[in-house]
A and B are shown apart, each in its own frame.
Chain A
Amino acid sequence: MSFSFDHLIQGFATALSLQNILWALIGCFIGTLVGVLPGIGPASGIAILLPLTTVLPPTSAIIMMAAIYYGAMYGGSTTAIVVNIPGEASSVPTAIDGYEMAKQGKAGPALAICAISSFVAGTLGLIGLTFFAPLLADVAVVFGPPEYFALMFMALTLIISLSGRALLKGVISMALGLLTAMIGQDPLTGAARLTFGFPKLLAGVDFISVIVGLFAISEVMVNVESRITAISQKIGSWMPSWADIKQCIGPMLRSTGVGFFLGLLPGVTPSVTTFVAYDLEKRVSKTPERFGHGAIEGVAAPEGANNATSTAGFVPLFSFGIPTAPSMAVLLGGLMMYGLQPGPMLFKTNPEFVWAVIASMYIGNVMLIVLNLPLVGMWARICVIPFYILGPLIVFFSVLGTYSIRFLAYDVWVMTLFGVIGYFMRKFAYPIAPMVLATVIAQMMEMSLGQSMLMSQGSIFILFTRPISGAFMALAIASIIRGIWLQMRTHAPEVALEEVD
Chain B
Amino acid sequence: MKTIRQADIVIGCFLAVLGLFILYAASNIRLGVERALSPRFFPSAMGILIFVCGAGLAVKSWRFKGEDPKIHWPDRQGLIIVLVSLGLLAAYILFMKTLGLPVSTFLYVTASIWFLKPEKWIAAIVTGVLVGIISYAVFIRLLDLSFPVGSLLEGLLEGLEK
Contacts and interface: CB of A to CB of B under 8 A. Distances in A.
A interface secondary structure, majority: helix
B127 A389 contact: yes
B109 A189 contact: no
Interface stretch (A58-66, A260-268, A359-367, A491-499): A491-499
A388 B117 contact: yes
Given A172-B15, A393-B127, 9 more contacts: A176-B50, A179-B22, A189-B35, A193-B39, A225-B74, A389-B123, A404-B139, A428-B11, A493-B61
Interface stretch (A295-303, A375-383, A447-455): A447-455
List the 9 closest A-B pairs by CB distance, nearest first.
A388-B116, A450-B37, A392-B112, A453-B36, A189-B32, A225-B74, A225-B78, A454-B36, A388-B117
B143 to A, nearest CB: 6
Given A192-B30, A404-B145, A416-B93, A495 B4 contact: yes
Contact of B93 (A182, A412, A429): A412
B26 interface: yes
Nearest to B54: A172
A350 to B, nearest CB: 26
6 contacts: A225-B82, A226-B74, A391-B112, A407-B145, A413-B93, A493-B64
A52 B53 contact: no
B117 A191 contact: no
B144 to A, nearest CB: 8
Contacts of A171: 49, 53
Interface in B43-59: 43, 46, 49-50, 53-54, 56-57
Contacts of A135: none
Interface size class of chain B, counting residues whose CB lies under 8 Å from the partner chain: 35 or more
B140 to A, nearest CB: 11
Interface string B104-116: 0100110011001
Contacts of A194: 22, 25-26, 29, 43
B79 interface: yes
Residue among A172, A386, A404 with max Cβ neighbours from chain B (10 Å):
A172
A416 B96 contact: no
B158 to A, nearest CB: 23
Interface size class of chain A, counting residues whose CB lies under 8 Å from the partner chain: 35 or more
A388 B60 CA distance: 41
Given A168-B57, A396-B131, A450 B8 contact: no
Contacts of A176: 46, 50
B44 to A, nearest CB: 11
Contacts of A221: 82, 85-86
A284 interface: no
A191 B78 contact: no
A399 B93 CA distance: 8
Contacts of A55: 143-145
Nearest to A170: B53
A193 B81 contact: no
Interface of B: 4-5, 7-8, 11, 15, 22, 25-26, 29-33, 35-37, 39, 41-43, 46, 49-50, 53-54, 56-57, 60-61, 64, 66, 68-69, 71-74, 78-79, 81-82, 85-86, 89-90, 92-93, 96-97, 101, 105, 108-109, 112-113, 116-117, 120, 123, 127, 131, 135, 139, 143-147
Interface of A: 52, 55, 168-169, 171-172, 175-176, 178-179, 182, 186, 188-194, 196, 217, 220-221, 224-227, 386-389, 391-393, 395-396, 399-400, 403-404, 407, 409, 412-413, 416, 420, 423, 427-429, 442, 446, 449-451, 453-454, 457-458, 491-495
A285 to B, nearest CB: 33
Given A189-B33, A450-B36, A450-B37, A168 B53 contact: yes
Nearest to B110: A392
Contacts of B113: 388-389, 392
B41 to A, nearest CB: 8
B57 A191 contact: no
Contacts of B41: 449
Contacts of B69: 429, 493, 495
Given A389-B123, A416-B90, A493-B61, A224 B39 contact: no
B2 to A, nearest CB: 11
A213 to B, nearest CB: 11
A227 B78 contact: yes
Nearest to A167: B53
A386 B31 CA distance: 54
Contact of B32 (A168, A191, A388): A191
B66 A492 contact: yes
Contacts of B93: 399, 409, 412-413, 416
A403 B147 contact: yes
A227 B139 CA distance: 31
A458 B34 CA distance: 12
A493 B8 CA distance: 9
Contact of A493 (B4, B86, B127): B4
A451 B36 CA distance: 8
B89 A416 contact: yes
B73 A427 contact: yes
A395 B112 contact: yes
